[in-house]
Amino acid sequence: EAQVTQNPRYLITVTGKKLTVTCSQNMNHEYMSWYRQDPGLGLRQIYYSMNVEVTDKGDVPEGYKVSRKEKRNFPLILESPSPNQTSLYFCASRSGERRNEQFFGPGTRLTVL
């Protein structure tokens, strides 16, 4: 089954404790991206990647890092999480055709205390 998976689905952590949210897709998609979703603000893009070893900042990259060492994986790293990073996070992927749809993961709900 074609899908985007994220782990963990739920995470409660404390300020400053490094964490990684994994994202994996099995569709051989070139493009992958991370979004955060907050009430009243909709989805905001954090980082995106156009292919292996090619990443770029989105609209709200501060406090986040990403890597794209393999085509299927695109982890999101919070080196020192803060409470304002409490949010619902989505990973998405898309094939190289720009007119194609994005496939979204199920989301990761993160709470930083």
Partner 1 sequence: SQQGEEDPQALSIQEGENATMNCSYKTSINNLQWYRQNSGRGLVHLILIRSNEREKHSGRLRVTLDTSKKSSSLLITASRAADTASYFCATDGGSYIPTFGRGTSLIVHP
Question: Shortest distance, CB of residue 43 to partner 1, whole angstroms?
Answer: 4
Residues 6+ apart with CB under 8 A from 91: 4, 6, 21, 23, 25, 32, 33, 34, 35, 74, 76, 104, 105
Would you count residue 61 as binding partner 1 (CB under 8 A)?
no
CA distance 76 to 91: 9
Of 27, 14, 74, the C-alpha closest to 65 is 74
Site string for partner 1, 5-44 (x = CB under 8 A): --------------------------x-x-x----xxxxx
Q: Which residues of 71-94 are buried (b: 16+ CB within 10 A; e: fewer)?
A: bbebbbebeebeeebbbebbbbbb
Q: Return the range that interacts with partner 1 (CB under 8 A); candidates 14-22, 63-71, 74-82, 103-111.
A: 103-111
Site string for partner 1, 71-100 (x = CB under 8 A): -----------------x-x-x-x---xxx
Among 23, 48, 75, 78, interactor with partner 1 by CB under 8 A:
48
Residue ranges binding partner 1 (CB under 8 A): 4, 31, 33, 35, 40-45, 48, 50, 58-59, 88, 90, 92, 94, 98-107, 109
